[in-house]
């Protein structure tokens, strides 16, 4: 663009032996531009279309050529993105503004307010999750190196269609009440008049024999020990009686 520093463009070559040297062999570069090493640079000052032939020469004087065209224009930033589409509340939204006609264009909010939940960055990206329904009017600016343009935007944020899930559930949370079947039984209900069964202390979960009581393993074991002891005593008495019996 006129009066703006040209972004340095480096010409590359392969297949030869460095170092390389760039030159213009026909035509001309725009006024204000020149060749430095293997790059093009400068600040063009005259509008127009300029065609030239560049030559790249290597260390051994071998070269190759390429035709190039450089257009120098008056800077005049202009939007190229059009109007953003409508959004939906509580649904992700994304739209990118674009502009051309100048260099180093950056975007910003110039007037009005964005819908709550949306942001606009300098690259032109409008994104976020709108949090309220309505029509929002604001102005976006595209500012370049020497010019700028504005665009007035009217963005509609609509309510979600019936049956569309939203980011945050709004339905009430069910809570059992006195009339709810899941509620705590009242004193007049049949369930309330029934005594609450209490597990027997002599039972153990997962065990097929009771732990305590007449049939418990401990009692059975003690009874076995007692029976064995009594049997042994009777056996000893019988043996002694036979031993000391007077012979006939």
Q: Is residue 186 predicted with pLDDT exceeding 60?
A: no
Question: Backbone dihedral region of 221: left (phi > 0), alpha (psi from -120 to 50 degrees) or beta?
Answer: alpha
Looking at residues 149-163, what average pLDDT do you find?
93
Model confidence at 171: pLDDT above 90:
no
Residue 133 near residue 157 (C-beta atoms within 8 A): yes
Cα(206)–Cα(199) distance, integer angstroms: 13
Of the pLDDT bands very low, low, confident and very high (cuts 50, 70, 90), residue 190 is: very low
Distance CA 211, CA 204 (A): 7
Residue with tokens 């949370």: 173
Average pLDDT in the 225-238 region?
63
Q: Which letter, b or e, does each residue of 108-123 get, where b requires 16 or more Cβ atoms within 10 Å of its Cβ?
A: eeeeeebbebbebeee
pLDDT, tens only, 49-67: 999 999 999 999 999 999 9
d(CA 20, CA 22): 7
Q: What pLDDT, on the 0 to 100 scale, is given for residue 161?
A: 85
Domains of the chain: 9-72 (2.60.40.10), 78-158 (2.60.40.10)
Q: Which residues pair with 42 in a beta bridge?
A: 33
pLDDT of 205 > 50? The answer is no
d(CA 204, CA 187): 32
Residue 23 has pLDDT above 60, yes or no: yes
**pLDDT at residue number 3:** 86
Which H or E element spans position 247? none
Contact between residue 133 and residue 159 where contact means Cβ atoms under 8 Å apart: yes
């Amino acid at each position: 663009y006129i009066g703006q520093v040209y972004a340095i463009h480096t010409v590359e070559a392969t297949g030869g032996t460095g170092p390389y040297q760039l030159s213009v062999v026909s035509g001309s570069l725009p006024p204000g531009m020149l060749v430095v090493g293997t790059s093009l640079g400068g600040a063009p000052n005259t509008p127009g279309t300029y065609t030239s032939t560049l030559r790249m020469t290597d260390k051994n004087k071998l070269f190759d050529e390429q035709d190039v065209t450089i257009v120098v224009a008056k800077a005049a930033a202009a939007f190229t993105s059009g109007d953003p589409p409508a959004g939906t509340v509580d649904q992700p939204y994304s739209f990118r503004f674009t502009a051309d006609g100048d260099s180093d264009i950056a975007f910003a909010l110039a007037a009005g307010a964005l819908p709550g939940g949306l942001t606009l960055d300098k690259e032109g990206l409008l994104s976020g999750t709108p949090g309220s329904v309505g029509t929002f009017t604001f102005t976006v600016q595209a500012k370049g190196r020497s010019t700028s343009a504005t665009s007035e935007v009217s963005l509609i944020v609509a309510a979600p269609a019936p049956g569309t899930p939203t980011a945050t559930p709004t339905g009430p949370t069910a809570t059992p009440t006195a009339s709810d079947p899941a509620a705590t039984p009242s004193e007049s209900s049949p369930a309330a008049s029934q005594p609450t069964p209490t597990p027997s202390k002599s039972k153990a979960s997962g065990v097929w024999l009771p732990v305590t009581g007449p049939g418990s393993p401990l009692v059975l074991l003690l009874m076995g020990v007692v029976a064995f002891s009594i049997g042994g005593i009777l056996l000893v008495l019988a043996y002694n009686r036979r031993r000391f019996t007077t012979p006939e």
